[in-house]
Amino acid sequence: MSGVKIRGNVLIVDDEETVGIGMSEMLKDAGFHAVYVTNGAEAVREAQKSQYSLVFMDMVMPGMNGLETFRDIKKVSPGSRVVLFTGFFIDAENVIYQGIREGMIDEFIRKPFFADEIITTARKYAS
C-alpha cells in the first residue's frame, strides 16, 4: 500500500471511453476510488450497488441522457452530488436550467476541461 488516503467514491458517466478512462485514472492518481461507466443505465445499476459521494455526469449520451440518469440516481442515492460536464449541444441552456431547477448541478464543467478542474471539483464534493 502506498499510503495514499482514499478520499471518496466517484462515479464517472460518459459514453466517450477516452474521456471516462482518462478521468478515472486522474482521480485514482489523486487518491479517489473512481468507477467509470459508459451509459446512464449502467450508472443507475452502479449507484444501486455502491454509494457514490460524487457523480461526474456527461449530459449527451445515447439512451438515457444526463438529466434522466440524474433523476434515477437520485432515487437510489439521494445524497450523491452531481457535476455535469458536456460539450456544446443544441438546447444546452434549457437542459442545464432544468437540471439546476431539479437540484442536479452542483457544478458545471464544459468540455474540453483541464485535469485540475476535475481534481479540484472532486476534492470539493467527494468525501
Percent of the chain exceeding pLDDT 70 equals: 73
Domain that residue 49 falls in:
1-91
CB 38 within 8 A of CB 14: yes
Do the domain assignments include residue 112?
no
Do the domain assignments include residue 79?
yes
Do the domain assignments include residue 55?
yes
Lowest mean pLDDT among 23-27, 39-43, 100-104: 100-104
Do the domain assignments include residue 30?
yes
6 vs 8, which has greater pLDDT? 8
* Domain total of the chain: 1
Record the pTM: 0.78
C-beta atoms surrounding 4 within 10 Å: 11
Q: Is the dihedral of CA 71, 76, 81, 87 positive or negative?
A: negative
44 vs 105, which has greater pLDDT? 44
C-alpha distances in Å from residue 86, one per residue of 73, 95, 110, 113: 18, 11, 5, 9
Do the domain assignments include residue 122?
no
Do the domain assignments include residue 114?
no
Q: Say yes or no to pLDDT of 31 above 70.
A: yes
Do the domain assignments include residue 77?
yes
CATH number at residue 11: 3.40.50.2300
Q: Say yes or no to pLDDT of 16 above 80.
A: yes
